[in-house]
Amino acid sequence: MLVSPLLKTSAELAAKQIEYEKVQSLTAEAERALELIGRAIRMAGFRNTQSLSASSKKISSSAPFISLQKGKGFRGSDSFLIRHELSDGVDLDCVGNVLTKERTKGHWAQQGFLVERQATAPKGFKVNGGSLICQSLDRHGRMQNTTVMNGVNQLSIDESSTLLGNANRSNSGSRLFVVKLQMTDGKALQREFSRTFATRNPQ
């Protein structure tokens, strides 16, 4: 008589353990993605004073350091592209590859993030969210896309003027962005993660 309740309890415990492990995995992936996105936002607009040139001044006046595109990606996800000059140290792109002068356009390195449907998923197959894509320039100055992770249901990026007052922004030149990342296992499990990042360089 006790066998059935014990089996039921064991099955429930196993299901809870599996869900816990999935949540931990989604959390770790989300934190990694948010850190990469935050690093790019903080780098936006970086100027190397030793390499400052007339050409870079001309480019900076015509193109913004951060470009946002709302609702164009997978399930209405936002995307963004940032520009920065190279420092005198070692600069890395969003997947850890070294950025060199060959990987710039007009003195500017470019990094971007967007969410697309999983390219490897067969047609008609239910996918566990979209793929977070990192964009950067290759050695020929062409934009290349690299998949960072899967399981991203939606990416939302909004500039906030309430957390950083207009007076403070005008004095520091900083911009504040609220990044929300919704992760999923493709079934019932969904978690939203949010972080706020400020640019470190005048915009």
Each residue's pLDDT tens digit, 4-13: 666 667 777 7
Question: Is residue 15 helix, strand or coil?
Answer: helix
Q: Which of 132, 137, 114, 133 is nearest to 68 (CA)?
A: 114
CA dihedral (159, 83, 180, 175) positive or negative = negative
Whole-angstrom distance, CA of residue 195 vs CA of residue 38: 8
H or E element at residue 189: none
Joined tokens for residue 26: 């989604």
Joined tokens for residue 144: 């290349």
Structural domain boundaries of the chain? 3-198
- What predicted TM-score, i.e. pTM, was given to this entire model? 0.82
pLDDT in tens, the chain (203 residues): 445 666 667 777 777 877 888 889 899 999 999 999 999 999 999 998 876 554 445 544 467 899 999 999 999 999 999 999 999 889 998 888 899 999 999 889 999 999 999 866 656 656 678 999 999 999 998 999 999 999 999 999 999 875 555 544 444 578 999 999 999 987 778 899 999 999 998 76
Condensed to tens digits (0 to 9), the pLDDT of residues 75-113 reads: 999 999 999 999 988 999 888 889 999 999 988 999 999
Going across the sheet that includes 109-116, the strands are 66-69, 79-84, 109-116, 130-137, 143-160, 176-184, 190-198
Q: Spell out a b/e string for 127-164, using b for 16 or more CB atoms within 10 Å of the CB, else e.
A: bbbbbbbbbbbeeeeeeeeeebbbbbbbbbbeeeeeeb
Q: How many residues does the chain have?
A: 203
